Structure 1
Amino acid sequence: MAENEEHELVRAIDWKQGLAIALGVPLLVLPSIGYFAGYLWAFAIMVWALSVIQGFFQNFAYGELAVMFPKASGLPGFAQNVFAGKGGKFDRGKLIGGFSAWGYWFAWNPVMAIMAILIGTYLHQMLPDIGISQYVLSIIAGIVMYGALLLINSRGLSSGALVGMILAILSLAPLVIISAAPFATGDFQLANITGSWLPTDWTWDLHHILILLGIFAMAEWSACAWETAAVYGPEYNKPNSDLPKAVFVCGFVCLIIFVLVQTAVTGTLGIERLLEVPFSPLLPVSQAAFGQVGSYIAIFVLIFAMVLITQTAFLGSSRAMHSMAKEGNLPPILGKVNSAGTPINAMILTALFNLVLIGLQNPAAVLAASAIGYSVANGISLFSYVKAKTDPELSQLERPFKAPAGWKYVALIFGILNIPLFLIGLIYLNSLEVGWTSTYIGIGVLAAYIPIWYYTQHKSYKEAEAASTMSA
């Protein structure tokens, strides 16, 4: 393979295949059903709906950025292109763009570890007498999942899309059926929602507003994540048409499923019962609708669902890392692709990093920490859209897809919502829920990018100097 091709992804999928991979996103509702209800009761349904709608507002901007930079890998690529450096050893614009991509990588990456931990938890509940600890089951689940997905996706993104479609059918359809069943069987009671809309001690003071901002930030991590369909911009056959289709169809699917699942669980179980099973509320819902057998079906459905979202996270985070390396913000070795156009080195490192994360055995803290990265990535990406609309040079770029007029002001508002408001809410909520652990993890991982970036820039500058001296 020629040197200039070693970092290029291959255009090999259409919008339906991109959608199939991104369809893991609706399953991100699973870890937060009981968590949100614990703070907001039935109002959690409204949070999901508003958060998906927020995703539509943000993705109009991302859709336009995607066609402006058809070779960019979604959010990680947009900010890096807009804030591209003008030259020099340590360019501030390049640092900002790369930092946004790093935040996005950290937002998606821990999903893999979280899902492996949850699979280990469910398997341990199913097989309590097997004599294997929950941690070991999580490690085994991680090794099997990551190894299989690495093997499949090393053959190219189209193979991953096929797996995504199969897993989507095996998990999304039963998830919808389980959630819809209580409406048909009569187990769903509207009074469980209308009678428990908000906690009885809820007041709109600063304390509760900060909690709500933190919850919305956590919800964004799940309900707005369907922008991941834009990550595969360089791999769509027709990015100008394929990408917007994949993104917005996935958004409509998310709107239906996030609202349906939270509504069904809350209306069927009621708040008190829901809070007794915050991490596995679909089990009693399925048992109520289908009996004891239904609970076992739900477990297997959830495992399929977790494999699907692991696939989505695996591809999204590895391509974020590939994008950073391609733009010179990470070591070049992470930007190389194999003969099928897959960033194999980035995928291997991502898998190994998550095997280490499984050892933390604290998915709540890891999730909250990664949400900090997601808010940073969205905030900077939205600000990059504002810059792309106002910069004289960038504003002249071709835009086959355009957001409505004046959308730069909408992007600015949501950018400020992410930075600093969501960040403040997250830090406050984390301090109440898990102490300062998740905040330290989030800030620590984000801060780790700075020395890595400076090392990469210094090494690249020295190599360029050496090459210039040899050619002189």
Structure 2
Amino acid sequence: YLHGLFPALGQTFSEYQLSLISGLVIFTGLFIINWFGLKEGAILGYVLAAFSLIPLVVLTAAPFATGHVELANITGNWLPADWSWDAHHILILFGIFAIAQWSACGWETAAIYGPEYKNPAKDVPKALFACGIICLFSYVLVQTAVIGVLGVDGVAAEAVSPLIPVAQATFGQAGSVVTIIMLIAAMILIIQTAYLGSSRALHSMSTEGNLPRYLGKTNRHGTPFIALLVTAAFNMVLISLGSLAAILAAAAIGYTCANGISLFAYVRARKHPALAQLERPFKAPRGWKHVAMLFGLFNLPLCLVGVVYLNSLEIGWTSTWLGFIVLSLYIPVWLYSQHETRRRNNRELPTTIPSNSKPDDDAADLEKVPSL
């Protein structure tokens, strides 16, 4: 995008160098902004959303109004010419589902901030439905407009973004410049959403004993700054790999596993007597556990097998191994976290009970012992 907006950059930096510099600048800026709390991060999100969503709405609607959309480009290309419903193509279809949901289903991050909402019982579903409607608009109408203008072959042939030639066809050269600015703002918005959401998730897992305690440290503004630094460092490592396709493919594997595990955990929580009785500000209707089980099985194993198969065909096994290695790194981290939790609880346990204490006093003392 930057090379397209500023061609002179291509004479000074390679795409790899520019990626590293951009990543460093973006994560440094986001760290400084998010250091001051969730409110500042939300304000940045509003600004970026205005710069990305408003032009996107105009760019999506304009081709329909100007008559550039040819529905035959869509209705005549539902399936590839060589498509057949055999095991090979069905596995590819499941792999495409995995990659599609990785890019389209990210609005669950709105629930990460649930404990910090003023009224979680009402605000969580409002946030989820609002984000879902925006994503439904984006991933249906934008696709329709782009493929309707360019056709499937035109989209596949576009090296940077198919939105750029759509904007050029509708608004001329000025449309291309505005679109690139919009895409950069949208990209930073995606990074900010994932960056802030990931740090909050790491903080939550740390306080619950599922990650090392140092990830839960916060500054005076309540920001989990250690989690922010770790997330930024991890993303810089991914950028340094230099293979966008491998990163996206590995991320799709991780997201598919996370989706399946989360859905199965929800079903478990609704069925387990001790977990089902826990008080929660927001609870999905009782019948949703069956929906969760259905989509959990859809993710694991169907989409997981499909995305591994698709990756092996398209870009080799590197991305698959990268995805599973990153996931497997959590096992030793979790074991260490459990050891850390046990050690902390053992330090807090009373070593002796006074000999002159009464049975009732003993029970009262034991009630004060943190639960293991």
Superposed CA offset, 1:130-157 (max 9, x none): 3222122112211211111111111111
Match of 1:291 in 2: 172
The answer to whether the 8 Å contact 1:120/1:135 transfers is: no
1:404 CA displacement: 4.0
Distance (whole Å) between structure 2 residues aligned to residue 463 and residue 196 of structure 1: 60
Q: Quick one: structure 1 residues 412 and 213, their matched pair in 2 at CA, closer, same or farther if it must change by over 3 Å?
A: same
Q: Match of 1:421?
A: 302
How far apart, in 1, do the equivalents of 2:125 and 2:230 lie? 30
Q: 2:114 aligns with which of 230, 233, 245?
A: 233
Q: 1:350 maps to which residue?
A: 231
Q: Which residue of the partner structure matches residue 358 of structure 2?
A: none
| SS of alignment partner, residue 196 of structure 1 | coil
1:231 shift after superposition? 0.6
How many pairs does the alignment contain?
Answer: 353
SS in 1 for 2:16: helix
Matched, 1:361 2:242: yes
Are 2:254 and 1:373 equivalent residues in the alignment? yes
Amino acid aligned to 2:259: N
SS in 2 for 1:297: helix
Query: What CA distance in whole angstroms lies between the structure 2 residues aligned with 1:466 and 1:396?
Result: 30
Normalized against structure 1, the TM-score is what? 0.71
Aligned equivalent of 1:253:
134
Structure 2: 5+ residue stretches without partners: 354-372
* TM-score with structure 2 setting the length: 0.90
Matched, 1:166 2:36: no
Summarize the Cα distance change of 1:250–1:211 in structure 2 as closer, same or farther, 3 Å threshold. same
The structure showing larger relative contact order (alpha-carbon pairs under 8 Å, at least 6 residues apart) is 1
- Map of 1:268-287 to 2, 5 A cutoff? 268-287=149-168
**Corresponding residue of 2:370:** none
The 5 A counterparts of 1:425-464 are: 425-464=306-345
Q: In the aligned structure 1, how far is the partner of 2:267 from the partner of 2:10? A: 57
Contact 1:120 1:141 in 2 (8 A): no
Matched, 1:308 2:184: no
Deviation at 1:316, TM superposition (A): 1.2
> Per-residue displacement from partner, 1:16-73 (whole Å, max 9, x unpaired)?
xxxxxxxxxxxxxxxxxxxxxxxxxxxxxxxxxxxxxxxxxxxxxxxxxxxxxxxxxx
In the alignment, is the contact (CA less than 8 A) between 2:60 and 2:142 conserved in 1? yes
Provide the rounded CA distance (Å) in 2 between the counterparts of 1:407 and 1:461: 35
Kept after mapping to 2: 8 A contact 1:152/1:160 = yes
Mapped to 2, the partners of 1:204 and 1:167 lie a distance apart of 42
**Are residues 1:221 and 2:102 paired?**
yes
Matched, 1:265 2:117: no
Return the alpha-carbon distance in structure 2 between the equivalents of residues 331 and 176 of structure 1: 43
Quote the residue 1:331 is aligned against.
212
Once the two structures are superposed, what CA deviation does each residue of 1:376-407 show, in whole Å capped at 9, x if it has no partner? Answer: 21112111221222222222334665534422
CA distance in 2, matches of 1:356, 1:405: 42
Residue aligning to 2:287: 406
Q: Quick one: distance in 1 between partners of 2:3 and 2:328? A: 31
Distance 2:34 2:272 in 1: 38
Deviations 1:144-201 (A, max 9, x none): 1111111111111111111111110111110121122111112111111112221111
Deviation at 1:461, TM superposition (A): 2.9
Task: Tell which structure's C-alpha radius of gyration is larger.
Answer: 2
Partner SS state of residue 273, structure 2: coil
Unaligned runs of 5+ in 1: 1-118
- The answer to whether the aligner puts 1:187 opposite 2:41 as a matched pair is no
Percent identity over paired residues: 58
